[in-house]
Chain A
Amino acid sequence: GDSVTQMEGPVTLSEEAFLTINCTYTATGYPSLFWYVQYPGEGLQLLLKATKADDKGSNKGFEATYRKETTSFHLEKGSVQVSDSAVYFCALYSGGYQKVTFGIGTKLQVIP
């Protein structure tokens, strides 16, 4: 079945540091890929998505590129802020099953 693998963290970075959160997946066919973010006490928010190979999703300074050859969708940001502290979830959607499969989530803590 479909699965998403990401590091659990926590990842602790200083403000303005470069961020990478790795995500790899296993799926049949050609899934759509997503990053969601969850701030404390809230539901998840869609951060970015990519629907086909080599697509780059971007939003709020975050980027991720759909790499079919390495089955990866790593999240990056050039300069993190304290306000980016949250839990980040990588996810995939395989058409036809009407469900999204989520990774375990990676907690990011940014210190001033």
Chain B
Amino acid sequence: KAGVTQTPRYLIKTRGQQVTLSCSPISGHRSVSWYQQTPGQGLQFLFEYFSETQRNKGNFPGRFSGRQFSNSRSEMNVSTLELGDSALYLCASSLQSPGDGYTFGSGTRLTVV
């Protein structure tokens, strides 16, 4: 059974650019969540999607957005990148709800220079 796949694994972008990260959940998992992981702040919740609907959003500026497609695949977008956006972005899928337990991808390491 394939795991959660995140692409790309590594990204280097310049301040002011935008970036799109992709996540393919485990087959049959309909809930997809995104987290930002940094050494200082730990894991910060970005948003959660289920059946193409955003059910919850964390305390991030509007530059951070996401969406989910009908096949449950999800993307997140960060516009007007800032140095502070450098982080590991983790996608996690679950059957119906985060309470079922997450399966995480290996993450996308974003570096903003």
Contacts and interface: CB of A to CB of B under 8 A. Distances in A.
- The residue in B4, B48, B97 that gathers the most chain A C-beta atoms within 10 A of its C-beta is B97
Interface stretch (B63-71, B76-84, B98-106): B98-106
Interface class of chain B by DSSP? strand
A44 B104 contact: yes
Given A43-B4, A44-B90, A100 B42 contact: no
A32 B100 CA distance: 9
A41 B106 CA distance: 7
Contacts of A42: 106
Interface stretch (A13-21, A69-77, A78-86, A89-97): A89-97
A89 B37 CA distance: 12
Categorize the interface residue count of chain B.
20 to 34
Contact of A93 (B42, B99, B106): B99
Contact of A103 (B42, B103, B105, B107): B42
A102 interface: yes
A98 B48 contact: yes
B3 to A, nearest CB: 9
Interface of B: 4, 31, 33, 35, 42-43, 45, 48, 50, 55-56, 58, 90, 92, 97-99, 101-107
Given A46-B101, A99-B56, A102-B43, 17 more contacts: A36-B104, A43-B90, A43-B105, A43-B107, A44-B90, A44-B104, A45-B104, A46-B102, A93-B98, A98-B31, A98-B50, A98-B97, A99-B48, A99-B98, A100-B33, A100-B102, A101-B45
